Amino acid sequence: MDARVKFDLVAWSGERLERVERALSDWVVADAPAGLGEAMRYAVLDGGKRLRPLLVLAACEAVDGNEEAALRAACAVELIHAYSLVHDDMPCMDNDVLRRGKPTVHVKYGQAQALLAGDALQALAFELLAPDGDAVPQAVQAALCRLLARAAGHAGMAGGQAIDLASVGCTLGESQLREMHRRKTGALLQASVMMGAACGATDAAARAGLAAYGAALGLAFQVVDDILDVTADSETLGKTVGKDAAHDKPTYVSLLGLERSSAFARELLSQALAALACAGLADTRALHALAIMVVDREK
Amino acid sequence: MDARVKFDLVAWSGERLERVERALSDWVVADAPAGLGEAMRYAVLDGGKRLRPLLVLAACEAVDGNEEAALRAACAVELIHAYSLVHDDMPCMDNDVLRRGKPTVHVKYGQAQALLAGDALQALAFELLAPDGDAVPQAVQAALCRLLARAAGHAGMAGGQAIDLASVGCTLGESQLREMHRRKTGALLQASVMMGAACGATDAAARAGLAAYGAALGLAFQVVDDILDVTADSETLGKTVGKDAAHDKPTYVSLLGLERSSAFARELLSQALAALACAGLADTRALHALAIMVVDREK
């Protein structure tokens, strides 16, 4: 009998989500001046699937890595994700008023505070990765900063958002759409996996396997996101649906249609699981289950 | 005869500014997608006094530190400064159209691209600090990330900007005004000094001396900034003058008047130089000359 069948992702996630929520609440301080801390906490706490933190922790466990480093990395990558949503929702970008079922940060606190809160969340992400003391080895701190900075910047998330901006109203080919998503959402999801791995020792085969797993999972996530934007309702999703079409944005659904998009997501899942199996790691059950969850999710 | 008299700051700066400009041009890549690279380069290159990079390099030389680390730190701190100006100029913040004698980034490239360029510049700053290879020791990489993240975030620059936002139209006491400036501009200037010092080995006395030097210099910079906003003309300054009063912002000039502000700047200079003299470092001539330049500058 396959041990994977018995792996309980809900129980595994539950314990880890508690740790992540507690750490985020401790580290995203309320006492930042002039309402800034309140806006930062609003943007981060009490919401979100925390997929990226779970990927960090699962990858760290697969390589038997440093737990303190992984918890910091898990929170840091979530802060980058949260800041990107705050800025992305602003009127000059997607102009969205609803996120995780609540008013967006700029609606609640004003645009200036939203801009600053996003900026401060990005800085805090890197601050978390480089603590005083030796609970996290200096080499791990440096590796985590390197991975996160690359994934967040022009070669990753910010670059993908620039392509997204420029592509409104355009017809993109499959390779251009893939390139946009690889940067915009894929880079940070893949970095979550690699940051978890950087908390422990890995050989080249493990790193290559995890990188391929992360790349396939990252793209699968976006394909499913495109599907849900068409098929889900706002209440389930906690954000405005149909906004890709409303903004005339190219998506996998507009390119391939619903059925072929679904098939593509399942093909990417197979690729992710195959790469994971080749990584030569002892216990990859959580990473395995998370990939399935990404493709099967309904929000 | 005092060796300081013979120190030629113009020659010292000229050689270092060339290195910094070349490094910035190499590292702020033009090939970031969809116009993002162009906006990032526009925000950073061909403008600015580069005071922060010069402070990093001067402090590194004072402790005989790692030159590659210092050049990266010098550029990183300038990228943080540059991104903060891009976001600060946006319509939801100061709504400024002129910076360094040129249209601001959002005027030239639109608000969405300006927002993204700022975000990508912040990420790039941390990317520069954590390069592959061993040209910069991992412990130095981690220390530089720690110092920069703290100075840029809620406890530093972003926090100061939040206070600034909240203080429009308010009367601040001297201690509140000092606290705002300590975070908003002082933290990054002080971090420049401490990052340079982190590129080499220092004892506690040197770190304390440099920290006090950086704090006094940081505040002096802002007092002089407040003075120049009243006394200089837009052409010399390369940015809109009189904007503090126009925005009804509390400044040292509005608090103390011109004459007492000037005297305060000179007192802070004395404090900075005294602290520097106590740091027990071999050659602090560049740091000494830079502090004088900060107070005597006309733009």
Contact A132, A272 (CB under 8 A): no
Determine phi and psi for A135, rounding to 5 degrees.
-65, -30
Residue A299 has pLDDT above 60, yes or no: yes
- Chain B nearest-CA distance from A13, in A, is 29
d(CA A59, CA A201): 11
Given an 8 Å threshold on Cβ–Cβ distance, is A126 in contact with B115?
Answer: no
- Is pLDDT larger for residue B108 or for residue B3? B108
pLDDT averaged over every residue in chain A: 93
Given an 8 Å threshold on Cβ–Cβ distance, is A36 in contact with B115?
Answer: no
Residue A11 has pLDDT above 70, yes or no: yes
Name the residue in chain A with its Cα closest to that of B143.
A130
What is the pLDDT averaged over residues B18-40?
93
pTM of the shown model = 0.95
Residue A160 has pLDDT above 50, yes or no: yes
What is the pLDDT averaged over residues A233-248?
68
Contacts of A134 in chain B (CB under 8 A): none
Percent of chain B at pLDDT > 70 equals 95
Residue ranges of A 23-62 with Cβ closer than 8 A to chain B: 29, 32-37, 40
Lowest mean pLDDT segment, chosen from A239-253, A265-279, B75-89: A239-253
Residue B247 has pLDDT above 80, yes or no: no
CATH H-level, domain A3-296: superfamily: Farnesyl Diphosphate Synthase (1.10.600.10)
Q: Which of A6, A17, A5, A51 is nearest to A295 (CA)?
A: A51
| pLDDT for B239 | 63
Lowest mean pLDDT segment, chosen from B136-145, B168-177, B184-193: B168-177
Give B4's pLDDT tier (boundaries 50, 70, 90): very low
pLDDT in tens, A68-88: 999 999 999 999 999 999 999
Contact B250, B172 (CB under 8 A): yes
Given an 8 Å threshold on Cβ–Cβ distance, is B36 in contact with A119?
Answer: no
Give A33's pLDDT tier (boundaries 50, 70, 90): confident
| Chain A CB within 8 Å of residue B132 CB | yes
What are the extents of the domains in chain A?
A: 3-296
Residue A240 has pLDDT above 90, yes or no: no
Helix residue ranges per DSSP H, chain B = 9-27, 36-44, 51-62, 67-88, 105-109, 111-129, 138-152, 157-167, 174-181, 187-198, 204-231, 234-237, 243-246, 252-256, 258-277, 285-296
| pLDDT for A163 | 94
Q: Hey, what are A250's tokens? A: 């190219």
Given an 8 Å threshold on Cβ–Cβ distance, is A142 in contact with B143?
Answer: no
- Chain A nearest-CA distance from B292, in A, is 31
Name the residue in chain A with its Cα closest to that of B37.
A154
Given an 8 Å threshold on Cβ–Cβ distance, is A119 in contact with B87?
Answer: yes
Name the residue in chain A with its Cα closest to that of B162.
A34
Amino acid residing at A213: Y
What is the pLDDT averaged over residues A179-206?
96
User: Measuring CA to CA, how many Å separate A234 from each of A50, A231, A237, A299, B12?
Assistant: 19, 10, 5, 10, 61
What is the pLDDT averaged over residues B66-81?
98
Is A30 exposed, middle or buried, given 0-12, 13-18 or 19+ CB atoms closer than 10 A?
exposed
Given an 8 Å threshold on Cβ–Cβ distance, is B124 in contact with A149?
Answer: yes
- Nearest by CB to residue B142, choosing from A111, A115, A138, is A138
Location of structure tokens 């309904």? A298
What is the pLDDT averaged over residues A128-138?
96
Longest dimension (CA), chain B: 58
- Is pLDDT larger for residue A293 or for residue B171? A293
Helix residue ranges per DSSP H, chain A = 9-27, 36-44, 51-62, 67-88, 105-109, 111-129, 138-152, 157-167, 174-181, 187-198, 204-231, 234-237, 243-246, 252-256, 258-277, 285-296
pLDDT averaged over every residue in chain B: 93
Contact B195, B73 (CB under 8 A): yes
Contact B56, B200 (CB under 8 A): no
Name the residue in chain B with its Cα closest to that of A37.
B154
Is B239 exposed, middle or buried, given 0-12, 13-18 or 19+ CB atoms closer than 10 A?
buried
Give B235's pLDDT tier (boundaries 50, 70, 90): low
B111 contact partners, CB below 8 Å, separation of at least 6: A92, B90, B91
- Nearest by CB to residue B166, choosing from A34, A40, A111, is A34
Contacts of A90 in chain B (CB under 8 A): 115
Residue B43 has pLDDT above 60, yes or no: yes
Given an 8 Å threshold on Cβ–Cβ distance, is A149 in contact with B127?
Answer: yes
d(CA A282, CA A117): 40
Contact A186, A161 (CB under 8 A): no
| pLDDT for B234 | 64
User: Measuring CA to CA, how many Å separate B146 from each of A128, A138, A194, B128, B198?
Assistant: 8, 11, 21, 13, 11
Chain Cα centroid distance, residue B226 = 15
- Chain B nearest-CA distance from A168, in A, is 12
Amino acid residing at A137: P
Start-to-end CA distance of chain B, whole Å, equals 31
DSSP state of A173: P
Lowest mean pLDDT segment, chosen from A97-106, A121-130, B245-254: B245-254
Given an 8 Å threshold on Cβ–Cβ distance, is A166 in contact with B130?
Answer: no
What is the pLDDT averaged over residues A136-148?
98
Contact A209, A276 (CB under 8 A): yes
Location of structure tokens 């399935």? A292
pLDDT in tens, A254-284: 999 999 999 999 999 999 999 999 999 989 9
Given an 8 Å threshold on Cβ–Cβ distance, is B115 in contact with A87?
Answer: yes
A-B CB pairs within 8 A amount to 181
| pLDDT for B127 | 98
Residue A116 has pLDDT above 50, yes or no: yes
Residue B13 has pLDDT above 50, yes or no: yes
- Nearest by CB to residue A127, choosing from B119, B139, B150, is B150
- Secondary structure (3-state) at B166: helix
Is B18 exposed, middle or buried, given 0-12, 13-18 or 19+ CB atoms closer than 10 A?
exposed
Given an 8 Å threshold on Cβ–Cβ distance, is B116 in contact with A37?
Answer: no
Contact B20, B71 (CB under 8 A): yes
What is the pLDDT averaged over residues A5-11?
86
- Nearest by CB to residue A32, choosing from B83, B145, B159, is B159
Residue B1 has pLDDT above 50, yes or no: no
**DSSP per position, B57-74:** HHHHHHTT--HHHHHHHH
| Chain A CB within 8 Å of residue B118 CB | yes
Given an 8 Å threshold on Cβ–Cβ distance, is B162 in contact with A138?
Answer: no
DSSP state of B102: E
Given an 8 Å threshold on Cβ–Cβ distance, is B36 in contact with A158?
Answer: yes
Test the A interface: residue of B40, B122, B175, B181 with most A CBs within 10 Å: B122
| pLDDT for A5 | 54
Given an 8 Å threshold on Cβ–Cβ distance, is B132 in contact with A143?
Answer: no
Whether ipTM exceeds 0.90: yes
| pLDDT for B170 | 80
What is the pLDDT averaged over residues A194-222?
97
Given an 8 Å threshold on Cβ–Cβ distance, is B149 in contact with A127?
Answer: yes
- Chain B nearest-CA distance from A69, in A, is 13
User: Using H for helix, E for strand and C for coil, what is the string for B80-95?
Assistant: HHHHHHHHHCCCCCCC
- Nearest by CB to residue B154, choosing from A29, A141, A155, is A29
| pLDDT for B172 | 84
Q: CA-based angle A192:B83:A153, to the nearest 5?
A: 25
Contacts of A36 in chain B (CB under 8 A): 154, 158-159, 162
Given an 8 Å threshold on Cβ–Cβ distance, is B146 in contact with A130?
Answer: yes
Lowest mean pLDDT segment, chosen from B3-12, B136-145, B152-161, B199-208: B3-12
Name the residue in chain A with its Cα closest to that of B132.
A146
Residue ranges of A 67-106 with Cβ closer than 8 A to chain B: 83-84, 87, 90, 92-93
Length of chain B: 299
Given an 8 Å threshold on Cβ–Cβ distance, is A154 in contact with B37?
Answer: yes
Residue B40 has pLDDT above 90, yes or no: yes
- Secondary structure (3-state) at A98: strand
Percent of chain B at pLDDT > 90 equals 82
Given an 8 Å threshold on Cβ–Cβ distance, is B166 in contact with A35?
Answer: yes
- Is pLDDT larger for residue A172 or for residue B98? B98
